[in-house]
């Protein structure tokens, strides 16, 4: 793709109102630019972007499009757009409007360069925008709550509490169906995103909604009580939308870009990264986790946040550790004698100065300090997040066993400073052939492997909830 020095600038997510004010001034400056180009009456869209050195993405906040992850902007649409910006040799800015319907308005007002938000290319929209090439296909599906009567056709939704995103292709489909089913009614939600609709169904506040199959595949792991009822129509293409008019220079550039990333595998790699469920919790575990986010986390949340602030940690990581250890039960205990939210042993608690392991504040603070003790011992040359994952493994099975795993990794030609290589060897610590070669001997390698994997999944879920202002979590924050 080539490198781009402009990408070094930090990502700026600009609220719509602030962006409108800035765009007015920017547009005034752009009016003067053509005079700098002798022989050219007007700059094309592509030239304007190259002149200002940045590409403005219009998108929506969500798992299938764009959100702020632990390392900054992420999401399938954002990754594609950022790669496109690299291809153009410019930086990228992101504008997230308050409602889905505002995307088209901002694009028509030239307050963004293109829309990348799982947008279905429909005949009606083709009259409003220029479109780039199709890069995905999706079927509209009806989603309902498990345990409720399964609707099998639109007629089964008569009298149901049905809601969809306003100004979406879903509403277009319902309006078309209403010609044959005049009693079909629904609510068009302007401010509620797809995650909010799915949560409302999970909570029993709504009966059904319409969603693209690829969006549901990405989100379904977070809503284990939801299920697909039936598909509505055939597959429809999804594409980026560009400003209307004769100037399609940016759309043309997008066509050459998508040809390239199809051929070199980048498109498939980005798309599979977000739909691959290999690192997802199973439905039962996710259901239990979400249940405790609502039930047990609220009174503990201020403690996790305060302790995290004091020790310069991410509260979501601490909370994920606490859930893995005890499911956030302050009086948790095991047959081995570990107790409390962070399941500290008597010896560890004594070393950390924890007097009452059943006291949530003391337990969480003790767990944070013990984790930092482990992380401090990780060589500084090992970068994040690998240092954190190794520290978690040491937290679970002890520093010596982690060192044994790193030694085995090196013996087998792996990189002992790379978490994935070490993680692959953890199970060897449970096999006599291998642990006899180590200094500290047998260890529950599989258990430590699962321990770190689970914490990473709980952490990712909490990040997902907080960065999307998830209704289940935002009221607590």
212: Cβ–Cβ under 8 A, 6 or more apart, which residues? 64, 118, 120, 138, 139, 140, 141, 238
Give 281's strand partners.
none
- Catalytic: 380? no
Long-range contacts of 437-440 (CB under 8 A, 24+ apart): 437/408, 437/411, 438/401, 438/404, 438/407, 438/408, 439/400, 439/403, 439/404, 439/407, 440/398, 440/400, 440/401, 440/403, 440/404
Tell me whether residue 433 is exposed, middle or buried, using C-beta atoms within 10 angstroms of its C-beta: 0 to 12, 13 to 18, 19 or more: exposed
Q: What is the largest CA-CA distance in the chain?
A: 83
CA-angle at 141, arms to 135 and 144, nearest 5°:
140
Spatial separation of the C-alpha atoms in residues 62 and 75, rounded to whole Å? 8
The answer to whether the beta carbons of residues 261 and 83 sit under 8 Å apart is yes
With a CB cutoff of 8 Å and minimum separation 6, the contacts of 31 are none
Dist. CA 458–CA 462, nearest whole Å: 6
d(CA 343, CA 336): 10
d(CA 180, CA 387): 60
Q: C-alpha distances in angstroms, 256 versus 46, 58, 88, 389?
A: 13, 21, 11, 39
* Active-site residue, selected from the candidate residues 126, 325, 361, 466: 325
**DSSP E strands, 201-281:** 209-212, 226-238, 241-242
Q: How far apart are CA 95 and CA 67, in angstroms?
A: 12
Q: Which two tokens stand for residue 415?
A: 């990189």
**Tokens encoding 312:** 């310069």
All residues at 6 or more sequence positions from 363 whose CB lies less than 8 Å from its CB, including other chains: 330, 340, 341, 342, 344, 354, 357
What positions carry a catalytic annotation? 325
């Amino acid at each position: 793709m080539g490198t781009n020095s402009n990408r070094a600038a930090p990502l700026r997510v600009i609220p719509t109102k602030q962006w409108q004010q800035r765009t007015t001034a920017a547009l005034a400056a752009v009016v003067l630019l053509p005079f700098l180009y002798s022989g050219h009456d007007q700059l094309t869209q592509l030239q304007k972007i190259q002149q200002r050195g940045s590409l403005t993405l219009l998108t929506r906040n969500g798992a299938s499009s764009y959100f702020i992850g632990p390392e900054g902007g992420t999401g399938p649409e954002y990754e594609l757009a950022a790669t496109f910006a690299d291809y153009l040799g410019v930086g990228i800015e992101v504008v997230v409007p308050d409602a889905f319907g505002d995307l088209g308005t901002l694009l028509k007002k030239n307050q963004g360069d293109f829309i990348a938000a799982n947008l279905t290319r429909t005949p009606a929209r083709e009259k409003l925008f220029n479109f780039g090439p199709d890069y995905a296909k999706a079927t509209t599906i009806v989603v309902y709550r498990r345990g409720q009567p399964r609707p099998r056709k639109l007629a089964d939704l008569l009298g149901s509490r049905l809601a969809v995103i306003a100004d979406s292709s879903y509403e277009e489909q319902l309006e078309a169906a209403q010609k044959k089913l005049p009693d079909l009614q629904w609510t068009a939600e302007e401010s509620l995103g797809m995650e909010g609709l799915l949560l409302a169904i999970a909570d029993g506040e709504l009966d059904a909604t319409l969603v693209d199959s690829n969006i549901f595949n990405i989100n379904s792991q977070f809503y284990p009580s939801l299920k697909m009822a039936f598909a509505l129509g055939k597959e429809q293409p999804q594409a980026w939308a560009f400003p209307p008019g004769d100037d399609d220079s940016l759309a043309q550039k997008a066509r050459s870009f998508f040809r390239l990333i199809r051929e070199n595998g980048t498109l498939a790699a980005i798309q599979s990264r977000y739909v691959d469920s290999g690192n997802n919790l199973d439905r039962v575990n996710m259901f239990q986790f979400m249940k405790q986010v609502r039930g047990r986390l609220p009174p503990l949340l201020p403690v996790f946040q305060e302790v995290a602030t004091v020790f310069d940690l991410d509260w979501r990581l601490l909370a994920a550790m606490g859930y893995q250890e005890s499911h956030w039960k302050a009086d948790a205990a095991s047959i081995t004698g570990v107790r409390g939210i962070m399941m500290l042993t008597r010896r560890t608690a004594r070393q950390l100065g924890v007097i009452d392991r059943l006291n949530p504040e003391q337990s969480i603070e003790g767990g944070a300090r013990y984790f930092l003790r482990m992380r401090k011992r990780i060589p500084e040359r090992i970068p994040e997040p690998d240092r954190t994952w190794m520290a978690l493994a040491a937290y679970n099975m002890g520093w010596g066993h982690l060192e044994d795993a790193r030694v085995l990794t090196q013996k087998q030609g792996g990189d002992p400073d790379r978490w994935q290589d070490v993680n692959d060897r953890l199970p060897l610590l449970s096999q006599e052939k291998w642990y006899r070669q180590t200094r500290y001997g047998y260890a529950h390698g599989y258990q430590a492997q699962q321990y770190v994997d689970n914490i990473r999944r709980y952490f990712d879920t909490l990040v997902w909830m907080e960065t999307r202002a998830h209704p289940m979590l935002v009221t607590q924050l």
